[in-house]
Amino acid sequence: MAQLTKFILHVIFASLLLSVMNLSYALDEEAPLQIPGAITVSAEQLLDIAAKNPRLFIIDARINEDRLQGYIEGSISLPDIKTNCATLAKVIPKKNAMVFFYCNGVKCGRSLKSSRIALKCGYNNIYWFRGGYAEWTAKNYPFIKH
C-alpha cells in the first residue's frame, strides 16, 4: 500500500516537473498575441523597420541547436535560458535601443520569455517577432545557415 502511494506520488511529481519544463522550453499552445509593453511585429514589419533604422538589435532567443537550422542575418544569439538583465546589458547597452526578439515560432515561447525579461530589466523599445523563424522561412526570406 505504501509502495503504491509512493509510486503515485512519483508519478504526480514527475508530471509536475515535466509541465514546468515544458513551460520553459515550449508552450503547449500558441503564445499570446501581445505582450504588454512590447510591440508584436510580422516579418515584413521587421524588414520595413530594419530598412529604415540601421541601428537595431535582433535577439535570437533559441538555444544553439535550433539556431544551427538557420537564422536571420544580423541576429544575435541569446537563448532565453541565459537571458537576464546582465547578459542583456552586455549585448544591448542602451535601455532605449530597438530590440527584436524571435524564436522558432508561435509555439516556442522563448522569445516571449526573453521579451518579458527584457521589459523587466527596463528595456522600453521591445519588438516581438511572434511568428519567428518559421514565419521567416515560410515567407521565403533569406537566412543564414552554416
Partner 1 sequence: MRLSSFSVRTILAVILGLMGLLALALALISGSIHRDLVFDNQQRMVKEIIHIEAKEHLKDLKNISRDLGLALQSTVAFRNAFDIALKTKDKNILQVLLDNQFHQYFVTGDVIKLEQLVVLDTEFSILSESFEGSVFFSGHEGTICPQLFKRARLRSGAQRMQILQDLCLYANQPIYAVLVPVGGLRLKGYVVVVTEPSHNLSMMESNLGMPLKFQSHHKKIIFQSENWPKQENTALIANYELKASDGSPILSIFTAQNISQLTQSLQQARLDVLLIAGVGTFLIVMLGIFIIRKTMLIPLNVLANKLNSLHSDQTRIGEQLTLSGTKEIVEITSGFNDMSTKLSSLYKSLEHMAYTDPLTKLPNRNQFQASLESFIQVYRQTKSPFTLFLIDLDRFKGVNDTLGHHVGDELLKAVSLRLHNILRDDDVVCQLDNELIAQIDDGLVARLGGDEFSAILTGIHTIEDSIIVARKLILAMEQAFIVNDHKLTIGLSIGIAMYPMHGEDMHALVSHADIAMYDAKNRKCGFSIYDSARNQHSLHTLKLEQDLFASIKKNEMVLYYQPKISIADGRVCGAETLIRWQHAEQGLIAPDNFIPIAEQSGFIQPLTEWVLNKALEDCNECLSFNKALNISVNLSALNLRDERIASIIISMLEKWSVPPELLTLELTESAIMDDPDFAIEILTKLDAMGVSLSIDDFGTGHSSLAYVKKLPVDELKIDKSFIYNITNDSDNEAIVRAVLVLAHHMNLSVVAEGIEDAATLNMLSELGCDIAQGYYFAKPMPFDKFKVWLEKNNNMRLFKEPLINS
Residues making contact with partner 1 (CB under 8 A)? 43-48, 50-51, 54, 58, 72-74, 139-145
Q: How far is the CB of 119 from partner 1 (least distance, A)?
A: 23
Which helix (H) or strand (E) segment holds residue 38: the answer is: strand 38-41
Among residues 47 and 91, whose Cβ is nearest to partner 1?
Answer: 47
Least Å from the CB of residue 45 to partner 1: 8
| Beta-carbon contacts of residue 4 (< 8 Å; ≥ 6 apart) | none
Contact 85, 5 (CB under 8 A): no
Minimum distance from residue 109 beta carbon to partner 1 (Å) = 24
Give the other-Cβ count within 10 Å of 133's Cβ. Answer: 26
Q: Shortest Cβ distance from residue 54 to partner 1 (Å)?
A: 8
Of 57 and 123, the one with the shorter C-beta distance to partner 1 is 57
CA separation (Å) from 125 to 65, 118, 119, 122?
Answer: 28, 10, 9, 9
CB of 81 to partner 1, least distance (A): 26
C-beta closer to partner 1: residue 46 or 117 = 46
Nearer to partner 1, 19 or 69 (CB): 69
By CB atoms closer than 10 A (0-12, 13-18, 19+), residue 80 is buried
Considering beta carbons, is residue 93 or 142 the nearer one to partner 1? 142
Distance, in Å, from the CA atom of 30 to the CA atom of 9, rounded to the nearest integer, reads 30
